[in-house]
């Protein structure tokens, strides 16, 4: 009897949203994570508790009805994933004030500066600790021999030290799933590119394009 290769899947939900789903105008609830994973896994075997999803949780904000809507959508997403035995690891989304200076990198900067605007401030939401949780689970899974290959869906290079431990010390494979998504042919900064840092440090690499992703989007004629 052939022994199947054992895999676990590690998805950085926020990273996947910003680099892929948002770029392609796909809502999480319209995307079949299970069918997508089946495509990536192939004839290999997903181990028990081997589907892992990491995401920052949305909180209700006073006077912001949009936050309530986002919470409801995230709750629906969690329920859908848990129904098919995904392990959901969360952290709080925290607000961070970022200052952007208007200079020659800014489109139409001269007109903006002429109006006396030298900078703008943006309140951004940032996940806190998701990369640490994912890295910890990667290492513990390798240490406890829970997988032969970890399928990593994240382009966060903060994970490189954990990947090095998994591949070099515990002799496990890490398969990097990167994306090349073109949304603007004139502004390359708007496009998603695979991480060269992760390509160089992982055991296997698969770079997916839009046509690889779209088959897993639910349409009205699908159940």
CATH of the domain at 49: 3.40.50.1010
How far apart, in whole angstroms, are the C-alpha atoms of residue 160 and residue 185?
A: 30
pLDDT averaged over every residue in the chain: 87
Residue 173 lies in a domain: yes
pLDDT in tens, 35-45: 999 999 999 99
Residue 120 lies in a domain: no
The H or E element spanning position 93 is strand 87-101
Residue 152 lies in a domain: yes
pLDDT in tens, 7-20: 999 999 999 999 99
Residue 13 lies in a domain: yes
**What is the extent of the structural domain holding 172?**
6-92+127-216
Residue with tokens 């079949």: 32
> Is residue 138 very low, low, confident or very high in pLDDT (cuts 50, 70, 90)?
very high
Structure tokens given for 97: 């004030």
Which among 198, 217, 214 has a CA at the least distance from the CA of 206?
A: 198
Three-state DSSP state, 192: strand
What average pLDDT score do residues 105-113 get? 78
- 2 pLDDT higher than 50: yes
Residue 74 lies in a domain: yes
Between 49-53, 96-100, 128-132, 183-187, the lowest mean confidence (pLDDT) is in: 96-100
If one counts the domains in the chain, the total is 1
Residue 132 lies in a domain: yes
The H or E element spanning position 46 is strand 45-57
Residue 146 lies in a domain: yes
Residue 115 lies in a domain: no
Structure tokens given for 189: 């900064």
What are the distances in angstroms from CA 32 to CA 58, 59, 84, 150, 195? 21, 25, 11, 20, 24
CB 192 within 8 Å of CB 181: yes
pTM equals 0.81
- 221 pLDDT higher than 50: no
């Amino acid at each position: 009897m052939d022994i199947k290769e054992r895999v676990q899947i590690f998805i950085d939900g926020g990273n996947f949203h910003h680099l892929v789903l948002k770029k392609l105008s796909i809502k999480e609830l319209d995307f079949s994570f299970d069918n997508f994973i089946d495509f990536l896994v192939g004839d290999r075997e997903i181990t028990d508790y081997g589907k892992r999803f990491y995401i920052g949780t949305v909180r209700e904000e006073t006077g912001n009805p949009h936050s309530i809507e986002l919470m409801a959508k995230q709750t629906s997403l969690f329920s859908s994933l848990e129904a098919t035995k995904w392990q959901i690891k969360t952290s709080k989304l925290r607000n961070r004030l970022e200052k952007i200076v208007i200079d020659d990198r800014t489109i139409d900067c001269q007109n903006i500066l002429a109006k006396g605007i030298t900078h703008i401030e943006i309140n951004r939401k940032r996940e806190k600790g998701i990369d640490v949780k994912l890295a910890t689970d990667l290492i513990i899974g390798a240490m406890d021999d829970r997988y032969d290959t970890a399928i990593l869906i994240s382009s966060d290079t903060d994970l490189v030290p954990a990947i090095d431990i998994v591949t070099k010390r515990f002799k496990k494979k890490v398969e990097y799933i990167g994306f090349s998504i073109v949304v603007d042919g004139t502004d390359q900064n708007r496009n998603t590119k695979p991480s060269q840092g992760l390509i160089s440090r992982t055991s296997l690499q698969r770079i997916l394009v839009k046509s690889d992703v779209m088959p897993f989007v639910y349409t009205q004629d699908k159940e």
